[in-house]
């Protein structure tokens, strides 16, 4: 039994969204001239001469940023239902949410102190 509202528009939107890139790529695949050559297989770097391979090793800092992002992304998932149900939950829930947030602030402070948020 399906009881959510408004998802027929979502479905139409999704179909159009999948059709647009398929059409764009398909039309260019059909109509574009095909000439093979050395230039064709090089990495596209906005018109510059490509430097090195596209398959490089990333820096560990990217991982650190992604890690901090994961933690606060999950925090968002937990705080959103609290925000929606805020009026029905009352003061005690507010304090509990503050405890939740303050523990995660400790995590943020830790990451900050250890330099996980610095790029340099």
Partner 1 sequence: MNWFRVVKSNLSNEYLEQYLEQYLEHTMLQLQYFLILAAALFCIGIYGLVTSRNAIRVLMSIELLLNSVNLNLMAFSNFLDPEGIRGQVFAVFVITIAAAEAAVGLAIVLSIYRNRGTVDMEQFNLLKW
Partner 2 sequence: MNLADGVQLVSFIVLSAMMLGGALGVVLLSNIVYSAFLLALVFISMAGLYILLNAAFVAAAQILVYVGAVNVLILFGIMLVNKRQDFSKVSKAWISQASTAAVCLGLFALLSTMVITTPWAISAIAPIGDGAIVAIGKHFFTDFLLPFELVSVLLLMAMVGAIIIARRDLLPNEIAGNEQPALTLPERPRELVSGGQK
For partner 1, the closer CB: 24 or 74? 74
CA 24-29-35 angle, 5° bins: 135
Taking CB within 5 to 8 Å according to partner kind, which of partner 1, partner 2, none is near residue 107?
Answer: partner 2
Q: Which is nearer to partner 2, 43 or 80 (CB)?
A: 80
- Kindly state the smallest distance separating residue 70's Cβ from partner 1, in Å: 5
Q: By the 8 A CB rule, do 82 and 101 touch?
A: no
Q: Which is nearer to partner 1, 78 or 112 (CB)?
A: 78
Q: Is 24 left (phi over 0), alpha (psi -120 to 50) or beta?
A: alpha
């Amino acid at each position: 039994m399906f009881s959510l509202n408004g998802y027929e528009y979502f479905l139409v939107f999704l179909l159009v969204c999948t059709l647009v890139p398929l059409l764009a790529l398909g039309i260019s695949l059909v109509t574009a001239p095909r000439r093979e050559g050395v230039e064709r297989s090089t990495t596209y770097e906005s018109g510059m001469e490509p430097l090195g391979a596209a398959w490089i090793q990333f820096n560990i800092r990217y991982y650190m940023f992604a890690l901090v992002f994961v933690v606060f992304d999950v925090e968002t998932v937990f705080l959103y239902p609290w925000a929606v149900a805020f009026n029905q939950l009352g003061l005690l829930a507010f304090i509990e949410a503050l405890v939740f947030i303050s523990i995660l602030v400790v995590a943020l402070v830790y990451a900050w102190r250890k330099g996980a948020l610095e790029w340099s």
